[in-house]
Structure 1
Amino acid sequence: MMKNNSKVFLYAFRQMTISILITFVLALAACSNSLTNNDMKKPENIVWMTTIDGVSTSPVFTQDNLYIGSGEFDAGNSMGKLLSINSSSGQINWSSSIGEVIETPIIIGEKVYVNSINGGSHLFNNMTGEKVNHFILGAKALSNGEMIIAIRDLLEGDSFGTYIVAFDARSGEEKWKQPVSNPSMTLSDNVLFFSDFNGQESSIHALEAISGDEKWSFSGGNTIYGTPVVEKGILLLPSSELVVTVDPKDGKEIKRITIPNNMTPQSLVYPASKEGFFYFTDDLNTIHAVDVNNSNKLWSYTFTGSVTSPLSIGDENVYFGTEDGKVVALSRNDGKQEWEFQTKGTIQSITIKDGRGFVVATKSASQSSIDNESYVMALK
């Protein structure tokens, strides 16, 4: 059981980076000038900064508040909390101790679901913090508002097996499950896409989220694919050497894009507002922009320090955070640095909402984020 839980723990944190990117870079533009709600000008100051005891998630937002998981280990015990923070003032509205390190919350109406790495799911009223329910769900949960889909280890006979399990979001009732090995999944238009690797070969699948019925699948051979990305009617499957584009309706391959110079895409993002390009970082703290149509590298930008956050893609700029607390903006057109802004700590994530930047950082780069005093900051 400990071995399986360890696998789920490593999987959840390894995949959290890309899941966060997919969630937050696809917002629509809504401003009439050149700066849209997906971009921010160079901040003048830190509007507010709230200190929390470690961080295990990136924030998710409602209109007025953000929700984030904090946590630390004390004598081997996890002390996880869910916090609701006012996004205008930084004031903590409420917090609730869960006792487990948690994953990024899911907001459904007036409810907020929080899943722990140990598989427990906690349901709260997102306005009051009142705990509504608790049930066993699973790790790496996704939701379309009607279903919650998670990865869970289940005892089948005398051994544990890994499954994708789907639950009704209102009742918590299990609806279907699918045996897997080590999946990376995303949810789009009521279809669950996931790549899987059983130790010998990979496979790609598309399932109806409501029923669990398979729409299509195909073998990926010995190539290990990361989390699928769906954008502009194209399914992108990233690996260490190439990106395969697929028609999400029928699973037919469109083309294979070789990553130039064997650059490893650690943080693949397919932008929402400009088709035909993707961006990623490599092992040398270099950010690359590549043309999907011909695999040509458009530009590269090498940062002299350590890039520590996933990339955030706006309509005009690419944003990233650094080990020494800088938020850096690059032009999407040519990769030139537009500006940088000094914050505090080691940056873990950057979220842009309504033209404002929200940064999560940890005090020390040498400690894990869940054992580390952390900061949530709003920039403007």
Structure 2
Amino acid sequence: MNRFPTLLLLAFIYTNPIAAQEMAWQFKTQDRVYSSAAIDENLVYIGSGDQHLYAVNKKTGKEVWKYKTEGAVHSSPTVWNNLVCVGSDDGNLYAIDKTSGKLIWKFASGGEKMYDLWDYYRSSPTGKGETIYWGSGDGNMYAINAQTGDLTWKYTTDGIIHASSVVKDDKVFIGSYDGNFYCLNANSGELEWKFKTIGAQYFPKGEIQKAALVKDDVVYFGSRDYNIYALNAKTGIGIWNMREPSGWIIATPLEYKNNIYFGTSDAHKFYALEKANGTTQWTFPLHMRVYGSAIAHDDTIYFGTFDGKVMGVDYATGKQQWEFQTKSSKANYSAVYNAAGEFKEGFELYGKDMMGSEKAIHALGSILSTPVIENEIIYFGSSDGNIYAVKL
């Protein structure tokens, strides 16, 4: 018997980067993690639905400190000087000493609210100069003094703000669930321009759920009206839009080497578009939604999926290069999918029991978190309650 081909096959299985990945560590919280990590020096900061903001040692995965709020923390933290700032479902923005975990100040909005079952994220703060910019479920965009926590200005929209802002060139760019995209003066809060999304039959508002990408005087963002838009950042005039016929576009687009990259909701696709005109370069088929944003590293585009995987695809071709699957996904995959990777008979994502279906999907360890890569380690959270650090 010639064992050489068998040995070659085994060698391929154990060295193929798609086949198996080595974890550096994982850290368990007590609820789902939709928050994305912020890394500063030796600490990883991330929120959890268990109402805590965690600081975890980047190398060991050991807890350094945690801070308890009075609501789920589905906002992603931002580090500003000596502070780590994060929003909570209790309606407050917290500024916490990044080293000790002690509260420095908190700012109370008019209160949080959840738009619907798929409103997973809360606005993440953005720091620029001496100001923290933050949106709220009360419909307001706030500018807050970073030293004192006092209000500098606020701008009121007609919808929930759960997107995060982008601050650039003294402008604040922010989308709202009212279907408008706003450009505000960063110093005064005055409106510079606003753009109304097209809307769709069942989503006439064209709600904007996540942050935009602002790059080279162009604003890119997705909407629940199935469109991704490119606007002139100075005027708010549309440059192009691309409509995906089958689903929302929630994720913040990634720009890399003249393309923009993003996943979709019910279309179950990942796209690469030419950023100049929105022409499709390639699509990568998936088995589930992508709400989190992608990240580029060494010509590979990494992103998380609702079926508990982080995928890595070649930026130019869309060919898969890498994959990590959570233990929860491996254990529970057959409850949702058949052997062909299709929804098993009897499973209805939008049937009579939509809440039950969402629960089954989240039991796969859905990854709504946007990955962060540092020193060949990829960090992300999962709805199985874990924060993962995986070697690339």
TM-score (norm 1): 0.72
User: What percentage of aligned pairs have identical amino acids?
Assistant: 21
Change (3 A) 1:375 1:299: same
Give the letter aligned to residue 377 of structure 1. Answer: Y
The amino acid across from 1:229 in the alignment is: L
Name the counterpart of 2:294: 312
Shift in Å, 1:357: 0.6
> Partner residue of 1:105?
77
Does 1:147 pair with 2:165? no
Residues 228-307 of structure 1 aligned to structure 2 (within 5 Å): 228-239=212-223, 240-253=225-238, 255-259=239-243, 261=245, 264-271=248-255, 273-303=256-286, 305-307=287-289
The amino acid that maps onto 1:121 is L
Question: In the alignment, is residue 321 of structure 1 matched against residue 304 of structure 2?
Answer: yes
Query: Which amino acid is 1:165 matched to?
Result: Y
With over 3 angstroms needed to count, the CA separation of the structure-2 counterparts of 1:69 and 1:205, relative to structure 1, is closer
Aligned pairs for 1:46-85 within 5 A: 46-54=23-31, 55=33, 57-72=35-50, 80-85=51-56
Query: Paired residue for 1:14?
Result: none
Secondary structure of 1:224's aligned partner: coil
For the 8 Å contact 1:257–1:292, the answer to whether it is kept is no
Aligned pair count? 310
Contact 2:71/2:88 (CA < 8 Å) preserved in 1? Answer: yes
| 1:336 to 2:319 alignment | yes
Give the corresponding residue for 2:65. Answer: 94
The structure whose residues are more often strand, as a share, is: 1
Is the Cα–Cα contact under 8 Å of residues 218 and 251 in structure 1 kept in the other structure? Answer: yes
Cα 1:263–1:219 change in 2 (3 A) is closer
Q: CA deviation at 1:60?
A: 1.3
Residue 32 (structure 1) aligns with: none
Q: Structure 1: give runs of 5+ residues left out of the alignment.
A: 1-40, 73-79, 154-160, 364-373
Describe the superposition over 1:102-145 as per-residue Cα deviations: whole angstroms up to 9, x where unpaired: 22222111112232122223322111112223341466242223
- Could you tell which deviates more after superposition, 289-298 or 119-128? 289-298
Give the direction of change, closer, same or farther, for the CA distance of 1:109–1:340 in structure 2 (3 Å limit).
same
Q: Which of these residues, 168, 171, 186, is aligned with residue 165 of structure 2?
A: 186
8 Å CA contact retained: 1:278, 1:291: no
When the two chains are superposed, the root-mean-square deviation of aligned CA atoms in Å is 2.8
- Compared CA separation, residues 82 and 67, structure 1 to 2 (3 A): same
CA distance in 1 between counterparts of 2:176 and 2:380 reads: 32
Correspondence for 2:185? 208
Once the 2 structures are TM-superposed, how far is the Cα of residue 331 of structure 1 from its aligned partner?
Answer: 1.0
Matches for 1:134-173 after TM superposition, within 5 Å: 134-137=106-109, 140-145=123-128, 146-152=130-136, 162-173=139-150
Query: Separation in 1 of the partners of 2:212 and 2:309?
Result: 29
The residue number in structure 2 matching 1:358 is 379
1:378 to 356, 375, 389: 389
Deviation at 1:165, TM superposition (A): 2.4
CA distance in 2, matches of 1:234, 1:330: 25
Offset of residue 352 of structure 1: 1.8
- Following the alignment from structure 2 to structure 1, what is the Cα–Cα distance between the partners of residues 46 and 303? 20
TM-score by length of 2: 0.70
* Runs of 5+ unmatched residues, structure 2: 1-16, 113-122, 200-204, 329-364
Partner of 2:115: none
Provide the residue aligned with 1:132 in structure 2.
104
| Cα 1:68/1:218, change in 2 over 3 Å | closer
CA change 1:318–1:129 in 2 (3 A) is same
1:114 equivalenced with 2:92 (yes/no): no
1:284 positional shift: 3.9
Q: How far apart are the structure 1 equivalents of 2:207 and 2:69?
A: 33
